[in-house]
Amino acid sequence: MKSKIPKVAHKILDKPMINWVIDVARKITDEIGIVLGNGKDLVKELLDENVKIFEQKERLGTGHAVLCAEQFLDDSDILILYGDVPFISYQTLNSLIEKHLKDNNSSTILSVKLEDPTGYGRIIKNEDKSVKIVEEKDADTFEKQIKEVYTGIAVYKGEQLKEALHHITPQNAQGEYYLTDVFEHLEKVGVVELENETEVIGINDRIQLAQAEKKIRNEILKKHMLNGVTIQDPDSTYISVDVSIGHDTIIYPQTFIYGKTTIGENCEIGPLTRIKDCIIEDNVKIIRSECELSRIQKNVSIGPFSRLREGTELQENVKIGNFVETKKTKISCNSKAQHLTYLGDTYVGRNVNIGAGTITCNYDGKKKNKTFIDDGAFIGSNTSLVAPVNVGKNSLIGAGSVITKDVPDNALALARTHQINKENWVLKKDSKNVEKGV
């Protein structure tokens, strides 16, 4: 990858490659072990504490990598996946495991037929029904013509795999311990052929990374469209694998939806919108805005040019308008902040109007403080609410105020100097300048 970042930490649709693999493995088992080599500390940051980590200090081949996790191998069945093959599906793996158990195989491997099998190990099926895999660099001219290749994914009986690993040797062109050599030491090896080669795309450089993302992105978009979602311009729309979208929602061009986002029915999202890890209910409209780690209830309108940061919760019928930013803020039903506003560490009650230019001054230089605005309050334009501060129910804040003390219910609060008009001041100033020759 020519990168300081380990290959499996590079992102596909904003999700690290290794997490694609872990997430599908989680659907099969909670017992997951990962063998890490270079850049292990960076990869560890992407893993949860339930993943067991093993280190391969020397890069001596795939067989050696598995042997580094020998203590993870027991008498149960072992599924081996690869961190740079991110698109394998649960359905495929489940079928592979079912075949393995049904046939009582020592190992069952996943194969695929490729028009151009260059770079892959070829599957050699012998007359005695044994299976051998020959790596590209060790294959002869005849073997290189075989189009059925080994994907690297296989299920093994743990004890037999452990024993076979101790019989392999580095007698090959690479001088490495190939995991594929274990099949010569196993009693019964089965093969399951995969139809969709996209699932076993391997990634070794940034060109392949871009090509792989494009393929899987198209498949994700097709799935949503077949499920009743309108995507106006698939070429400019990016939706990650963990996103769910309800029927009759429209996704407009230049929209990016990432993470574990859920979007309800009859929504309008975009254009020029980015959403990550949000829960969005039905009938929500978001235009030209950014939303992250937020919860948005029904019939909410957001944008254009709004930014919802982590911890934002918008209840039903809320309106968030242009150039409004929120963070760790809850806005209750039927309230609105339409223009040029910052709300941080704030609670806003029902039926509140936040005037243009309002800001909550939530940071005092040492800690964040909270602002509480009760139901029915009206916050005049260009108001600064210096937290910690409470604004009472049905109260009114005069435009241009700097509020530093609590405001009681039903009160009018004004915190600004009196206006002074000096009549003819401009004319007098101009005449003095003329006398001075200015």
Amino acid identity for residue 242 in this structure: D
Residue 298 has pLDDT above 90, yes or no: yes
Residues in the chain: 438
**What is the reported pLDDT for 69?**
96
378 with 356: CB under 8 angstroms?
A: no
**What is the reported pLDDT for 126?**
80
**What is the reported pLDDT for 416?**
87
> What pLDDT, in 10s, does the model give residues 212-251?
999 999 999 999 999 999 999 999 999 999 999 999 999 9
Q: What is the distance between the alpha carbons of residues 193 and 109, in angstroms, rounded to a whole number?
A: 8
Sequence-ordered strand ranges (E) for 146-234: 148-157, 189-194, 230-231
**What is the reported pLDDT for 119?**
83
Residue 433 has pLDDT above 80, yes or no: no
> What pLDDT, in 10s, does the model give residues 52-94?
999 999 999 999 999 999 999 999 999 999 999 999 999 999 9
Whole-Å CA distances, 44 to 6, 41, 416: 11, 5, 54
Domain 206-413 maps to which CATH number in 1.10.1660.10, 2.160.10.10, 3.10.350.10, 3.60.21.10? 2.160.10.10
| CA 150, 156, 160, 163 torsion-angle sign | positive
13 with 242: CB under 8 angstroms?
A: no
Query: Per-residue confidence at 438, pLDDT binned at 50, 70, 90?
Result: low
Q: What is the distance between the alpha carbons of residues 389 and 364, in angstroms, rounded to a whole number?
A: 13
> What pLDDT, in 10s, does the model give residues 15-28?
999 999 999 999 99
268 with 248: CB under 8 angstroms?
A: no
Residue 335 has pLDDT above 70, yes or no: yes
Find the angle CA(248)-CA(254)-CA(259) to the nearest 5 degrees: 75
18 with 9: CB under 8 angstroms?
A: yes
Beta bridge partners of 15: 12
**What is the reported pLDDT for 55?**
96
- Contact partners, residue 97, CB within 8 Å, separation at least 6: 28, 77, 79, 108, 155
Tokens 């080669």 appear where? Answer: 197
190 with 109: CB under 8 angstroms?
A: yes
How does the average pLDDT of the chain come out, rounded?
Answer: 95
Query: Per-residue confidence at 419, pLDDT binned at 50, 70, 90?
Result: confident
> What pLDDT, in 10s, does the model give residues 28-37?
999 999 999 9
Q: What is the distance between the alpha carbons of residues 237 and 252, in angstroms, rounded to a whole number?
A: 8
Average pLDDT over residues 299-308: 98
Active-site positions?
Answer: 339
What is the CATH number assigned to the segment(s) 7-195?
A: 3.90.550.10
In terms of Cβ atoms closer than 10 Å to its own Cβ (0-12, 13-18, 19+), residue 173 is exposed
Average pLDDT over residues 167-187: 91
Average pLDDT over residues 350-358: 98
> What pLDDT, in 10s, does the model give residues 360-381?
999 999 999 999 999 999 999 9
Tokens of 20: 């694609």
129 with 57: CB under 8 angstroms?
A: no
Question: Domain boundaries in the chain?
Answer: 7-195, 206-413
